[in-house]
Structure 1
Amino acid sequence: MMSKHPGTGSHTVTVFVFPGVRLLDVTGPIEVFTTANEFGGRYRVQIASQDGREVITSAGTRLGADVSVDEVQEPCDVLVIPGGPEWETLIKDDALLDVVRQLDENSRCTASVCTGAFLLAAAGLLNGRRATTHWRHAQELASRFPSVRVAPDAIFVQDGQMMTSAGVSAGIDLSLALVEDHYGAEVARSVAKDMVVFMQRPGGQSQFSVRSRAPHTHQQMLRRVLDSVAENPGANHTLTAMARRAGISVRHVTRLFYDEVGTTPARYVEQVRLEAAQGLLETGDDPMPVVARRTGFGSPESLRRAFVRHLGVTPGAFRATFRTAGRGREGSGVHVGAVVVEARVDDEELSAA
């Protein structure tokens, strides 16, 4: 992290906002830093817009600004660059990118939330660095900016003075890590408890949708195979069975998966089965042998190995963490642990290849 010895000094946080910014990308970090002030932190948070006027967020709400960018004279300790749904338009706005560079020059640490990483990358601030973003856009970040080493499953990443976080609420994780760095683990833990969030959430971004990341294909024979896997993950989905279902050769199925889905048939089937198991664990009470059988893993041990390999948590831990909110039990609490710089650091980085 930025410092080895947490202290008691004050820290200035500047949050840059613009029309179409995502509301939680802004308010999540602000809530962390201002809540830290209740437990011994000394943060001064200011919202800066390009001209000092209020902006309309992607949610349609008005968000006031404290200062204009030109009024940000003193160096800030943390600069927060949030994202927005219209990031493709934002990265073509040269004036906006100039503002991001201007603010970065006056900041000791620059941190993006969600698709804010695209603004940093377009401004040239992530060249040669590791970074992450929302799982839905990780491959796009790698493709558009090949000099950025994208870690697709990280909750957040630090590389030098640059920090990037995954989608939306991951900005809270990143901000908690900064609070720990500035004021120690006890303060960060108190903030996490007060906000009823994890100081270290289990697993990485792989715990979120696999099937929604699969591209639409116009190959009808492959579409039949993909649909059959999604409709019944527990069925027989060997390579031979899929080839028979599609009416083509095993070699042709394998080639279609590589070309259209970007992975092997076996890996895709395992990912869909994993997602199906997550759904059963989140919403039901079936014992592990039933979950394993219904989702095609066969045994609880195979299910456990897949969860640990892909998500970094056991099925039992996943169920305890991601159960439907209405299933809370009296006396249960939020488990908090040490903050980490990033989750799943051993994951392969995406490349533009």
Structure 2
Amino acid sequence: MATNFMEMPRRRVGILVFDGVKMLDFVGPAEVFVEANQIVPGYDVVLVSADGKPAQTSIGARIEVSATAADAGRFDTVVIPGSELPVTEFVTPEVLAAARHLSWNTRRLASICSGAVVLAELGLLDERRATTHWKFAADLARRYPTIVVEPDAIFVRDGNLYSSAGVAAGVDLALALVEEDYGAGVARRVAQLLVVYMQRSGGQSQFSASLAGPVPRGPIVRKAVDLICADPAFPHTVQTLAAHARVSVRHLARLFRAELERSPAEYVAFIRFGVARDMLHAGRSVTEAAMSAGYGSSEALRRAFVARLGISPREYQQRYRSTNSVAVFDVPSAAAMS
């Protein structure tokens, strides 16, 4: 029997804003929920702040809010966006108090980008899986060692807590929440109306071949790195890379260590593994991933995965496959919010 969405109650979505909030972090998800209202009478989006005063966004625009976090009532969903400001500047006692109050009064709680730090500071992510923008992931893992940080995930679900990577990933997460509420058909229609993908293949690393490592500082290493990333399957050696960069083998190896903290051979292996992993995320076969990344055989790729991750490529692909989105983790939690 078909569900009559028109008879379902509207869901309140609270979004916490503050001075320095990254505008697209909250506008993107908000537009997803509002767009859904063209199809189902689904959401009331409410902007709140710690003190009820307008917030100045990352682009200088001032955003009016409807209430203080403490007076806003109960929500179905709460979204905590992030900021480009240093953590010490935007994760203030006032923001933490507001987020804590909102967390007590919602069915599910989501962070966008560095908003994950707010949840981490409140202890809500302890012993849970989470993600954030790739450039904040290492710091999040270092500052909060009890959090299982998944740096390549577009978004992560752990019980009633959700976290997403930066900016546009908030749209991905919001579409997944709409799908949870009203099904894939509604979410797909919302994605079509917004002219965005309902599901993006791969993780954050699809946006940069060398995403997880240091950035080359000088033109010599950059020239070698560009060659590797342009054709990872080519049999690169330190000799061919040095010849391409027109420096000695010893000098190139020294520069790689200084700038990338890896030898040229280690960097080639790093890039190849990332390419193979992203192809598995995109649904390619183990053999296709191995050939495209330059492993030579599926067995060579299997050995690389077991050495790095302790599981085979096939097990990895099955573990991270989801009907909602690629690189989503759905972990039942005893600490789910009431």
Instruction: With the length of structure 1 as denominator, give the TM-score of the two structures.
Output: 0.69
Structure 1 counterpart of 2:227: 232
Contact 1:6-1:182 at 8 Å conserved across structures = no
Structure 2 counterpart of 1:70: 70
Distance in 1, matches of 2:205 and 2:251, equals 31
Distance in 2, matches of 1:148 and 1:207, equals 23
Contact 1:54-1:65 at 8 Å conserved across structures = yes
The answer to whether residue 38 in structure 2 is matched with residue 43 in structure 1 is: no
Structure 2 counterpart of 1:199: 198
- Aligned AA for 2:291? S
Which runs of no fewer than 5 residues in structure 2 stay unpaired?
A: 276-287, 302-321, 330-338
Structure 2 counterpart of 1:58: 58
Which runs of no fewer than 5 residues in structure 1 stay unpaired?
A: 277-298, 310-337, 346-353
Distance in 2, matches of 1:268 and 1:227, equals 12
- Aligned AA for 1:57? T
Following superposition, the deviation at residue 209 of structure 1 comes to 2.3
Structure 2 counterpart of 1:303: 292
Distance in 1, matches of 2:289 and 2:327, equals 25
1:137-286 matches, within 5 Å, as 137-211=136-210, 214-215=213-214, 226-233=221-228, 237-239=236-238, 245-247=248-250, 256=257, 261=260, 265-269=264-268
Following superposition, the deviation at residue 226 of structure 1 comes to 2.6
How large is the Cα RMSD of the aligned pairs? 3.6
Instruction: With the length of structure 2 as denominator, give the TM-score of the two structures.
Output: 0.72
Contact 1:225-1:246 at 8 Å conserved across structures = no
Q: How many residues align?
A: 282
- Aligned AA for 1:229? A
Q: Deviations over 1:174-213 (max 9, x none)?
A: 0111111111111111101000111111111111224465
Following superposition, the deviation at residue 99 of structure 1 comes to 1.8
Q: Deviations over 1:17-73 (max 9, x none)?
A: 000000011110110001111101421110001111111101111111111112112
Q: Cα gap change, 1:262/1:22 in structure 2, threshold over 3 Å: closer, same or farther?
A: same
- Aligned AA for 2:56? I
Distance in 2, matches of 1:65 and 1:44, equals 13
Distance in 1, matches of 2:20 and 2:206, equals 27
- Aligned AA for 1:115? S
Distance in 2, matches of 1:180 and 1:84, equals 27
Structure 2 counterpart of 1:295: none
When structure 1 is superposed on structure 2, of 110-119 and 208-217 the one drifting more is 208-217
Contact 2:19-2:90 at 8 Å conserved across structures = no
Q: Cα gap change, 1:112/1:92 in structure 2, threshold over 3 Å: closer, same or farther?
A: closer
When structure 1 is superposed on structure 2, of 227-236 and 38-47 the one drifting more is 227-236
Q: Cα gap change, 1:264/1:32 in structure 2, threshold over 3 Å: closer, same or farther?
A: farther
- Aligned AA for 1:303? S
Distance in 2, matches of 1:130 and 1:273, equals 26
Q: Secondary structure at the match of 1:201?
A: coil
Following superposition, the deviation at residue 96 of structure 1 comes to 1.9
Distance in 2, matches of 1:18 and 1:196, equals 29
Q: Secondary structure at the match of 1:86?
A: coil
Q: Deviations over 1:213-239 (max 9, x none)?
A: 543689xxxx68633413533687424
Distance in 1, matches of 2:121 and 2:195, equals 35
Following superposition, the deviation at residue 154 of structure 1 comes to 0.8
The answer to whether residue 13 in structure 2 is matched with residue 13 in structure 1 is: yes
Distance in 2, matches of 1:239 and 1:89, equals 43
Following superposition, the deviation at residue 344 of structure 1 comes to 6.7
Structure 1 counterpart of 2:29: 29
Distance in 2, matches of 1:344 and 1:70, equals 31
User: Matched residues, percent identical?
Assistant: 39
Distance in 1, matches of 2:37 and 2:95, equals 31
Following superposition, the deviation at residue 121 of structure 1 comes to 0.9
Structure 2 counterpart of 1:123: 122
Following superposition, the deviation at residue 266 of structure 1 comes to 3.3
Following superposition, the deviation at residue 268 of structure 1 comes to 2.2
Contact 2:238-2:249 at 8 Å conserved across structures = no
Contact 2:200-2:326 at 8 Å conserved across structures = no
